[in-house]
């Protein structure tokens, strides 16, 4: 027999991913009481008997929270239920004062939506299975930071009762990269709609990722792993990439993937089994008797729809048409509504959208990232940028000096003219002054000068560079070029 028959056929697998996203809503008050939702207060200073779950208290539904959840649903193309109903989900954990969470089990407020976005030159659509409204639990802090070794834990109930939406996608995502890009688009939409501030580092946005593999062409889903503890979009992508490798190996060995919950270990870069599906708690869901079903008036839904802002994809399309920007630029500039507003104000002050786009996509976004800053914290104004770009246009400063000035403006808010004056950065366009430097450079670089005289024109760039160095970037490069040619090239 030929040995080839022993080689196992390599099966190709399709990746199937569905995400569950928790987003805290930006209402001023909690969902069942009037306590503040503001982040960062001293522990247990924003609590009352209701959100502490004391016996005898009654929750009262905050309409504002329903409005926010509906807005999220509309922005994600969902249909809105005619009635909001709530259920109790029972489990025992110290962060949950009532020992049950009020949530929506089988009557979610929003259903059947979708998000559309571009990936690899293709328009992708990921379905939203449903969105439901529920309450946050409190926050546990373990002494020494590690749960298992902690001698005691502290509980902060400030977070308990903050309204939360859970967005559950269909299993429509087909790669770890697509999961990240989907999340970036979703975050943009929620921020635009001002439904949530989506601060993953503060815990106001949290993601669980479900992933399974199946042989290409199969229509049946495989067993999935659910990954918890993902604290950035990068972590989501990395954890899913790890799972693709892990599950592929299991399937190629002819074994079955366990249906289980896994924990992402960020430092080790691996997922670890936490519990299997059949070890899962029975939540004993039951209808919430203290909150009567809440009727959702269709006229109210329409008023909320009318309040929706222009959404990221619409804005991107408008930027392409109105400002004649490449789709790529428009996508980058509209990812954050505040950057998009800043761009429009700059164009209003200066014109030339593509030039503004280059400065914002390059310098502005780079400095925002470097400083971990938000647009509203930056002292640079659109009028300030317009003034700077005008100085570059008029040749008062060179483009590269302009970048230095930009950085200073970004951090200090000083005017471009003041910085240029203070630091003596005006471009040198005085022929006499430059001629002296040019002569000096020729004297110091006889070899290079000889090459240019002999017709090797590419060496002239080297000499221009020497002049720029001596003038700390301030020489007018066009003029330097002319002066060098006049001295070295016989016409």
Given the rule CB under 6 A, which residues bind ligand ADP?
16-20, 168-171, 210-212, 221-222, 224
Per partner kind, with CB cut-offs from 5 to 8 A, the member of ligand ADP, Zn ion, none near residue 448 is: none
Q: Which does 221 bind (CB under 5 to 8 A by kind): Zn ion, ligand ADP, none?
A: ligand ADP
Closer residue to Zn ion (CB): 37 or 185? 37
Q: Which helix (H) or strand (E) holds 31?
A: none
Q: Which stretch binds Zn ion (CB under 5 A): 43-51, 95-103, 269-277, 380-388?
A: 43-51
Binders of Zn ion in range 431-460 (CB under 5 A): none
Mapped onto helix, strand or coil, the DSSP state of residue 97 is: coil
Q: Find which of ligand ADP, Zn ion, none residue 80 binds, CB within 5 to 8 Å per kind.
A: none
- How far apart are CB 296 and ligand ADP at their closest, in Å? 23
Question: Sign of the C-alpha dihedral, residues 256, 260, 266, 267?
Answer: negative
- Choose one: 18-26, 42-50, 300-308, 403-411; the region binding Zn ion (CB under 5 A): 42-50
Give the C-alpha separation, 414 to 419, whole Å. Answer: 7
Closer of 26 and 168 to ligand ADP (Cβ): 168
Minimum Å distance from CB 335 to ligand ADP? 24
Closer residue to Zn ion (CB): 89 or 159? 159
Residue 70, token pair as written in the block: 């509906």
Answer yes or no: are the C-beta atoms of 115 and 128 closer than 8 Å.
yes
Identify whether the C-beta of residue 181 lies closer than 8 Å to the C-beta of residue 175. Answer: no
Minimum CB distance to Zn ion, residue 163 (Å): 12
Q: Which is nearer to Zn ion, 48 or 417 (CB)?
A: 48
Q: In 3D, which of 278, 174, 276 has the Cα closest to residue 226?
A: 276
**Of residues 34 and 379, the one with the C-beta less far from Zn ion:** 34
153/145 Cα distance (integer angstroms): 9
- To 10 degrees, what angle do helices 477-488 and 460-470 make? 130
Pair 347, 231: CB distance under 8 Å = no
In the complex, what is the shortest distance from the CB of residue 85 to ligand ADP, in angstroms, rounded to a whole number? 18
- Smallest gap, in angstroms, from Cβ of residue 16 to ligand ADP? 4
Residue closer to ligand ADP (CB basis): 27 or 261: 261
Nearer to ligand ADP, 18 or 108 (CB): 18
Among 15, 35, 74, 207, binds Zn ion (CB under 5 A): 35
CB 270 to ligand ADP: min, Å = 19
Among Zn ion, ligand ADP, none, partner that 35 touches (CB below 5 to 8 angstroms by kind): Zn ion
Residue nearest to ligand ADP (CB): 18
Contacted by 398, from Zn ion, ligand ADP, none: CB < 5 to 8 Å by type: none
Contact 296, 70 (CB under 8 A): yes
CA dist., res. 189 & res. 196, Å (int): 10
Task: Give whichever of 159 and 224 is closer to ligand ADP, judged by the CB atom.
Answer: 224
> Is 33 a residue that touches Zn ion (CB under 5 A)?
yes
Site for Zn ion in 44-83 (CB under 5 A): 48, 50-51
| Residue 20: contacted member of Zn ion, ligand ADP, none (CB under 5 to 8 Å, by partner type) | ligand ADP
Taking the C-alpha atoms of residue 229 and residue 264, their distance in angstroms, rounded to an integer, is 6
User: Smallest gap, in angstroms, from Cβ of residue 182 to ligand ADP?
Assistant: 11
Backbone torsions φ then ψ of 167, nearest 5 degrees: -105, 120
The least distance separating Zn ion from the CB of residue 30, rounded to whole angstroms, comes to: 5
The residues facing 264 across adjacent strands are: 271
Distance (Å, rounded) from C-alpha 398 to C-alpha 155? 57
Give CB contacts under 8 A, 24+ apart, made by 481-490: 483/431, 483/434, 483/435, 483/438, 484/438, 484/442, 484/452, 484/460, 485/460, 487/438, 487/439, 487/442, 488/442, 488/449, 488/452, 488/453, 488/460, 489/452, 489/453, 489/457
Considering the complex, what minimum distance in angstroms separates the CB of residue 150 from ligand ADP?
Answer: 29
User: Closer CB to Zn ion, residue 51 or residue 69?
Assistant: 51
Residue whose CB is less far from Zn ion, 158 or 459:
158
Name which of ligand ADP, Zn ion, none residue 461 binds, using a CB cut-off of 5 to 8 Å depending on partner kind.
Answer: none
What, of Zn ion, ligand ADP, none, does residue 48 touch, CB below 5 to 8 Å by kind? Answer: Zn ion
Span interacting with Zn ion, options 26-34, 289-297, 322-330, 367-375, rule CB under 5 A: 26-34
**Of 214 and 352, CB closest to ligand ADP:** 214
Q: With contact defined as beta carbons under 8 Å apart, do 375 and 368 qualify?
A: yes
* Residue 366 Cα to chain centre, angstroms: 14
CB of 18 to ligand ADP, least distance (A): 2
Q: Choose the one of Zn ion, ligand ADP, none that binds residue 426, judging by a C-beta under 5 to 8 angstroms depending on kind.
A: none
Distance between CA atoms of 186 and 341, rounded to whole angstroms?
19
Distance CA 167, CA 188 (A): 14
**Beta-bridge partners for 83:** 295
Nearest CA among 105, 128, 17 for reference residue 286: 105
Please choose which of Zn ion, ligand ADP, none residue 53 contacts, taking the beta carbon within 5 to 8 angstroms, the exact cut-off set by kind: none
Name the DSSP class of 60: -
CB of 303 to ligand ADP, least distance (A): 30
Positions touching Zn ion (CB under 5 A) are 33, 35, 48, 50-51
């Amino acid at each position: 027999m030929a040995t080839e028959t022993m080689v196992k056929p390599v099966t190709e697998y399709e990746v199937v991913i569905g995400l569950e996203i928790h987003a805290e809503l930006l209402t001023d008050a909690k969902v069942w009481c009037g306590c503040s939702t503001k982040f960062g207060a001293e522990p247990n200073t924003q609590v009352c008997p209701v959100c502490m779950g004391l016996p005898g208290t009654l929750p009262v539904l905050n309409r504002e929270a329903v409005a926010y959840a509906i807005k999220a649903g509309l922005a994600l193309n969902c249909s809105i239920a005619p009635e909001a109903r709530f259920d109790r989900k029972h489990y025992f954990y110290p962060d949950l004062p009532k020992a049950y969470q009020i949530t929506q089990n089988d009557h979610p407020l929003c259903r059947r939506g979708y998000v559309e976005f571009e990936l690899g030159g293709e328009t992708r659509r990921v379905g939203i299975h449903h969105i439901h409204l529920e309450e946050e639990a409190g926050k546990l802090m373990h002494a020494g930071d590690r749960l298992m070794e902690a001698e005691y834990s502290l509980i902060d109930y400030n977070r308990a009762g903050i309204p939360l939406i859970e967005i559950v996608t269909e299993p429509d995502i087909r790669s770890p990269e697509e999961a990240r890009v989907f999340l970036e688009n979703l975050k943009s939409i929620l921020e635009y709609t001002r439904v949530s501030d989506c601060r993953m580092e503060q815990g106001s946005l949290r993601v669980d990722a479900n992933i399974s593999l199946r042989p290409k062409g199969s229509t049946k889903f495989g067993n999935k792993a659910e990954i918890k503890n993902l604290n950035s979009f990068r972590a989501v992508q990395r954890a899913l990439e790890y799972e693709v490798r892990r599950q592929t190996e299991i399937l190629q060995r002819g074994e079955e993937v366990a249906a289980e919950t896994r924990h992402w270990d960020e430092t080790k870069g691996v997922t670890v089994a936490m519990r299997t599906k059949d070890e899962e708690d029975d939540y004993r869901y039951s209808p919430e008797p203290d909150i009567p079903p809440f009727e959702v008036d269709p006229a109210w839904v329409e008023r909320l729809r009318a309040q929706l802002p222009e959404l990221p994809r619409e804005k991107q399309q408008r930027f392409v048409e109105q400002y004649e920007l490449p789709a790529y630029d428009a996508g980058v500039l509209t990812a954050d509504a505040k950057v998009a507003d800043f761009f429009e104000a700059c164009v209003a002050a200066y014109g030339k959208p593509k030039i503004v786009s280059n400065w914002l996509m390059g310098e502005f976004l780079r400095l925002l990232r470097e400083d971990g800053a938000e647009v509203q914290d930056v002292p640079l104004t659109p009028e300030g940028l317009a003034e700077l770009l005008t100085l570059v246009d008029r040749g008062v400063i060179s483009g590269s000096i302009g970048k230095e000035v930009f950085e200073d403006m970004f951090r200090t808010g000083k005017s471009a003219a003041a910085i240029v004056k203070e630091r003596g950065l005006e471009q040198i366009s005085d022929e006499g002054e430059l001629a002296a430097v040019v002569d000096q450079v020729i004297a110091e670089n006889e070899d290079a000068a000889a090459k240019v005289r002999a017709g090797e024109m590419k060496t002239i760039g080297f000499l221009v560079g020497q002049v720029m160095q001596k003038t700390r970037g301030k020489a007018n490069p066009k003029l330097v070029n002319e002066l060098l040619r006049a001295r070295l090239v016989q016409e």
